[in-house]
Amino acid sequence: MGELVFIGLGLFDERDLSWRALDEAHACDVLFAEFYTSALRGTTVERLAGRIGKPIAVLHREDVESGVVFLREAATKRVGFLVPGDPMMATTHVDLRLRAEAAGIRTRIVHGSSIFTAAIGTLGLQAYKFGRTTTIPIPERGFRPTSPLDAIRANRAQGLHTLVLLDLREDGRFLSANEAIRYLLDLGGDTFPPETLVCAVGGAGSPNPVVRADRAARLVDADLGPPLHCLVVPGALHYMERAALLRLAGAPADALPPA
Amino acid sequence: MGELVFIGLGLFDERDLSWRALDEAHACDVLFAEFYTSALRGTTVERLAGRIGKPIAVLHREDVESGVVFLREAATKRVGFLVPGDPMMATTHVDLRLRAEAAGIRTRIVHGSSIFTAAIGTLGLQAYKFGRTTTIPIPERGFRPTSPLDAIRANRAQGLHTLVLLDLREDGRFLSANEAIRYLLDLGGDTFPPETLVCAVGGAGSPNPVVRADRAARLVDADLGPPLHCLVVPGALHYMERAALLRLAGAPADALPPA
């Protein structure tokens, strides 16, 4: 009987795999990976395969979504599916897991570090003060949903922060924090005026993450280092969060609301 | 010049450390650890020290909070601070980091896997449908705050799920999911009646996590395996989340709201 093991790769490069992830991946008969829900910017598939000691077949979005190759291979083999971050943060992973279980294939998860907590911790903000997370898509053909602003508005009404993840594409395109701030400024009106305090994290999990907090009007043009980026739009700040943004994120005092 | 490196240990045992975490810990002059904000249930300090190849001094809460030993050692040495999960999810870590930076000590974070994403993924729920996280304390001397119910109510009003973390103590005591459900039932009134759908995760990140979803009145007496536990109180369920709770968490159909 086969098995499908979802293995989290963590944030940045092949050194972010846990020992458990390496052992589990090495023990698989077949390894697949996807890099379209997120990406490891600090390594290559070849280096990852070298570290694990097994070849890795990278799948396109349509192959992951159809699930055919997984269900066929995992019917008789132990299949490892390597995904950036912590598995199951993308709906498509859950969908695949459910289809495998429905086909009688056992599934397991090996966890990895994730931007969901890394962004919060890198900024020194408090995890229990975050409301729901939102994502800004890469705008195309006039598709510019207001859902990110809706999330920011609803969270802020409760004094909560919003983690804003930024879309990326299989072809290597990604939305930068600068583009994302521009998106919010263009659509934002009263919800996101130019003086809005925004935090940006670039290269979370890398040896030199870029961490900034400033008014949107200033951060929109700032150099936030190589991708991937994400944003946090703060709600009410605890005094320790204020101190963290001043010290860790280089926030100018005039960008913060009065204490 | 010294340095203070916060190193995430991940969820369960010494195999959850990333290669980066092992390298970074090994490169430190001095290693401290704390196990009161969370715990690694699958290992011991000795095994952890053996894997890293360096001795580890476990600090009590008061030593972490005072910060004296860190600031003294990190003034001249590279100090590693090993913490369960992903660092900085506990306010006390942020406080320590800020004091180190204020003293001119460079700080860095090495990320680890965290219950914040592991609980969500293990249940097959969708990360962007979670509102703010709350914690249930170990009740004592009549201290039974209603803040967990306030969070559940506010999240549910927006259709959002609530991750409920459970307190633990330095002496090894921990709040079980059963006790936590009892806590919510006792205080809950209309917000948390006995038929409330609750999800419980035990041993997240271990080889055999226990994953259950059922009415509170039934789950309160269920065997949820060895600690640590946490809860999720769902808001509105997407059809794929319904399917996940039925298949992955063994939810009886009568425990779920009508589709």
Note the residue count of chain B. 259
- Residue in chain A closest to B16 (alpha carbons) equals A18
Are the C-beta atoms of residues B212 and B224 closer than 8 Å to each other?
yes
Half-sphere exposure of B242 toward its Cβ, with a 13 Å CA cutoff?
Answer: 11
List pLDDT tens digits, range A198-229.
999 999 999 999 999 999 999 999 999 999 99
The 10 Å Cβ neighbour count of residue B139 is 16
* Chain A residue whose CA is closest to B17: A18
- CA-nearest of A255, A247, A189, A191 to A222 is A255
Contact indicator for B136, B225 with CB cutoff of 8 Å: no
* A251 and A213 Cβ atoms separated by less than 8 Å: yes
What's the token pair of residue A26? 């090495």
How many whole angstroms separate alpha carbon A137 and alpha carbon A115? 17
Tokens of A232: 């946090």
CB of A253 less than 8 A from some CB of B = no
Asked if B109 and A122 come within 8 Å (Cβ–Cβ), the reply is yes
CB A198 within 8 A of CB A232: yes
Q: What is the mean pLDDT of residues A4-30?
A: 97
B103 touching A (Cβ < 8 Å): no
The order of strands in the sheet holding B78-83 is: B57-58, B30-33, B78-83, B3-8, B106-110
Q: For B113-140, how does the pLDDT look when each residue is reduced to its tens digit (9 = 90+)?
A: 999 999 999 999 999 999 999 999 998 8
How many contacts (CB atoms, under 8 Å) link A and B? 176
Q: From the CA of B205, how many Å to the nearest CA of chain A?
A: 6
Res. A195: pLDDT tops 90:
yes
Domain borders along chain A are 3-110, 115-255
DSSP B186-236: HHHGGGS-TT-EEEEEESTTSSS-EEEEEEHHHHTTS---SSPEEEEE--S
Residue of B nearest to A208 (CA): B108
Q: Please state at what angle helix B19-26 crosses helix B45-52, rounded to 10 degrees.
A: 80
- Indicate the DSSP class of residue B79: E
Q: Which CATH superfamily is domain B115-255 in?
A: Tetrapyrrole methylase, C-terminal domain (3.30.950.10)
CB-CB under 8 Å, A101 with B248: yes
Q: What is the pLDDT of residue A141?
A: 78
- Give the distance from residue B128's alpha carbon to the nearest chain A alpha carbon, in angstroms: 5
Q: Where are the alpha helices (DSSP H) in chain A?
A: 19-26, 45-52, 61-66, 68-73, 91-102, 115-123, 147-157, 177-188, 216-219, 239-248
Question: In whole angstroms, how far apart are CA A170 and each of A96, A174, B201?
Answer: 19, 9, 33
Judge whether A38 and A85 are in contact, CB under 8 Å: yes
A39: confidence class by pLDDT, cuts 50, 70, 90: confident
CA–CA gap between residue A85 and residue B116 (Å, rounded): 13
pLDDT digits (tens, 9 = 90+) for A95-133: 999 999 999 999 999 999 999 999 999 999 999 999 999
Asked if A13 contacts A43 with a C-beta cutoff of 8 angstroms, the reply is: yes
Handedness of CA B149, B154, B160, B164 (dihedral sign): negative
| CA-angle at A27, arms to A118 and A30, nearest 5° | 90
Q: How far apart are CA A76 and CA B1, in angstroms?
A: 56
Phi, psi for residue A78 in degrees, rounded to 5: -90, 110
Measured CA to CA, the distance from residue B69 to residue B76 in angstroms comes to: 12
Any chain B CB within 8 A of the CB of A111? yes
| A93 CA: distance to closest CA in chain B (Å) | 9
Residue located via tokens 């914690």: B135
Walk along chain B (259 residues) and give the pLDDT tens digit of each residue.
Answer: 799 999 999 999 999 999 999 999 999 999 999 998 898 999 999 999 999 999 999 999 999 999 999 999 999 999 999 999 999 999 999 999 999 999 999 999 999 999 999 999 999 999 999 999 999 999 887 788 999 999 999 999 999 999 999 999 888 899 999 999 999 999 988 999 999 999 999 999 999 999 999 999 999 999 999 999 999 999 999 999 999 999 999 999 999 988 7
**A-chain residues near B208 (CB < 8 A):** none
Q: Would you state the torsion angle of the CA atoms of residues B49, B51, B52, B57, taken in this order, to the nearest 10 degrees?
A: -10
Q: What's the pLDDT at B147?
A: 95
ipTM value > 0.90: yes
Q: How sure is the predictor about A16, in pLDDT bands with cuts at 50, 70 and 90?
A: very high
Q: Which residues of B touch A232 (CB under 8 A)?
A: none
Q: B228 with B166: CB under 8 angstroms? A: yes
- In this structure, are residues A231 and A199 in contact, taking their beta carbons and an 8 Å threshold? yes
pLDDT at B222: 97
The pLDDT of residue A143: 84
Q: At A168, is the secondary structure helix, strand, or coil?
A: strand
Q: SS3 of A177, please? A: helix
Which range, of A1-5, A29-33, A181-185, averages the lowest pLDDT?
A: A1-5
What fold, for A3-110? Cobalt-precorrin-4 Transmethylase; domain 1 (3.40.1010)
Per the CB < 8 Å rule, is A111 touching B247?
A: no
Nearest one of A61, A7, A12 to A204, comparing CA atoms: A12
Q: Scan for tokens 């004592």, then name that residue.
A: B140
Asked if B135's CB is within 8 angstroms of A133's CB, the reply is no
For chain A, the average pLDDT equals 95
Distance, CA of A32 to CA of A7 (rounded, Å):
10
Q: Predicted confidence band at A257 (pLDDT cuts at 50, 70, 90)?
A: confident
The SS3 assignment for A39 reads: coil
**Is A43's Cβ below 8 Å from some Cβ in B?**
no
CA angle, B189 then B192 then B193, to 5°: 75
Instruction: Flag if A89 and B244 touch (Cβ within 8 Å).
Output: no
Judged by CB atoms closer than 8 Å, whether chains meet at B131 and A131 is answered as yes
* Residue B24 to residue B39: CA distance in whole angstroms: 20
- CA nearest to A242, candidates A230, A258, A218, A222: A258
For residue A170, the model assigns a pLDDT of 85
pLDDT in tens, A44-61: 999 999 999 999 999 999
Surface of B (83-102) touching A: CB under 8 A: 85-89, 91, 94-95, 97-98, 101-102
> Partners of A110 in the beta sheet?
A7
Residue A88 structure tokens: 């199951």
Reading the block at residue A256, the tokens are: 């913060």
Q: pTM of the full predicted structure?
A: 0.97
The pLDDT of residue B95 is: 96
Q: Do B16 and A120 touch (CB under 8 A)?
A: no
